[in-house]
Amino acid sequence: MIEQYVERVHTGPAVLDIGQGVGALVIYTKEELLGQEIELSIKGNDEKRIHTAIHERKVNGRSIFAGLFLALPEGEYIIWVHPSSEVTIVSGSVAEVNWRDIEVFVPSKNHRHPYGTYEQVPGSAARDLLPPRYRNGQTVSAAPMGTAPMRYDDDGQVAWNEMWTSYCDLALAGGPSHRDTLLEPVPPDEVRAAREDYERVVAEIERGLRLVTGLPTVYSEKLGWVGLCCTDEAMALWMLRAIVVENVCVRREGTVLYLPAGPTFQIGKEIKNVVTVIAKTHHYWTEHCLG
């Protein structure tokens, strides 16, 4: 039985119920996720989720922060966080996932709409994700934003830096998330099977990111990702937290943010999604948060 979260330190050993066809999972996290509930589901059955909370536990005299799934049927699982995570549960074994050195955003269990619970973002007050006009308790507008039409330069390339009359048109709190479903990187095998198309997509996303931010990009050695170099870690952390509420997968390594890419990404769809969320969040960091 998975116990409910209470504010206490767990000192006793966990009793695992593993054996033939059943394994277990332990997820190690930073202290910032204490009390957060982590959802898990078998691949292909997204709606049937189970959850457990992150507790503080004493092990050999020191504190660790972890969530335990004590009995899971063997198989492939999705952990419902951003960036997305997957794990394989093996019969009679305990799988381990380590988030102690990475930034992880845990959506609200009861309200998965990304604008429902800003307090779920670790280490950040809700107001820090909002434009200044919304930071004093004013109601966040639910009015949907219009889709910006594609614009092209004289050479026929997309003029990413001319897509919006004002970047404030992309208000962070100006409506629903940019996407209805999570945009994720494509598995490496799919990239290798269409490498030429993938390189074309990466080049266009990189070009778009440079045009809307003026920041350098970096080619990712991990297939399925495009890197954007932030000026410092504070900027990278803020933008990461703002991007995840837009339903675009993102991960961070130091000052570099990595956004998804895939060989089937289309210019007016997935490529535009990635460039748009960066244009939007970069504008708020440079023009509002720093001002």
- The two tokens of residue 135 are 């930071």
Mean pLDDT confidence for 72-88: 86
Helices H, strands E: what count in the chain?
Answer: 4, 13
> Alpha helix locations (H) across the chain?
188-193, 195-213, 233-244, 270-284
Domain spanning 129-289: CATH superfamily: Aspartate Aminotransferase, domain 1 (3.90.1150.10)
**One-letter amino acid of 37:** E
Residue 259 has pLDDT above 70, yes or no: yes
pLDDT digits (tens, 9 = 90+) for 37-75: 898 888 877 778 888 889 888 777 788 899 888 888 999
Query: In the predicted model, what is the mean pLDDT of residues 136-147?
Result: 45
- What whole-number distance in Å separates Cα of residue 91 and Cα of residue 41? 17
pLDDT above 50 for 1:
no
- Answer with the residue of higher pLDDT: 5 or 242: 242
* pLDDT, average across residues 142-152: 58
Confidence check: pLDDT of 132 > 70: no
Question: For 85-125, what is each residue's pLDDT tens digit?
Answer: 889 999 888 899 999 888 888 875 443 333 333 333 333 44
The whole-model pTM stands at 0.51
Q: Is 167 exposed, middle or buried (0-12, 13-18, 19+ CB in 10 A)?
A: middle
Model confidence pLDDT, tens digit, residues 163-215: 765 555 444 444 445 566 788 888 999 999 999 999 999 999 999 999 999 99
Give CA 34 to chain center in angstroms.
18
Asked if CATH classification 2.60.40 holds for the domain at 9-98, the reply, yes or no, is yes
Q: What is the pLDDT of residue 127?
A: 44
Q: Is the bond preceding 83 in cis, omega lying within 30 degrees of 0?
A: yes
Cβ atoms within 10 Å, residue 21:
12
Q: Please compute the mean of the pLDDT values over residues 149-170 and round it to a whole number.
A: 71
Q: Residue 134: is its pLDDT beyond 50?
A: no
User: What is the pLDDT, as a whole number, of residue 27?
Assistant: 93
pLDDT at 156: 83
Could you read off the pLDDT of 265-284 as tens digits, one per residue? 999 899 999 998 898 888 87
**Fold agreement (9-98, 129-289):** no
Q: Phi, psi (5° rounding) for residue 83?
A: -65, 155
pLDDT value for 11: 45
The residue to which tokens 């004289």 are assigned: 154
- Estimate the crossing angle of helix 270-284 against helix 195-213, to 10 degrees: 20
Q: Taking the domains of the chain in order of start, what are their residue ranges? A: 9-98, 129-289
CB 97 within 8 A of CB 79: yes
Question: What are the pLDDT digits (tens) for 3-21?
Answer: 333 334 444 455 555 778 8
Cα gap 227→68, rounded to integer Å: 33
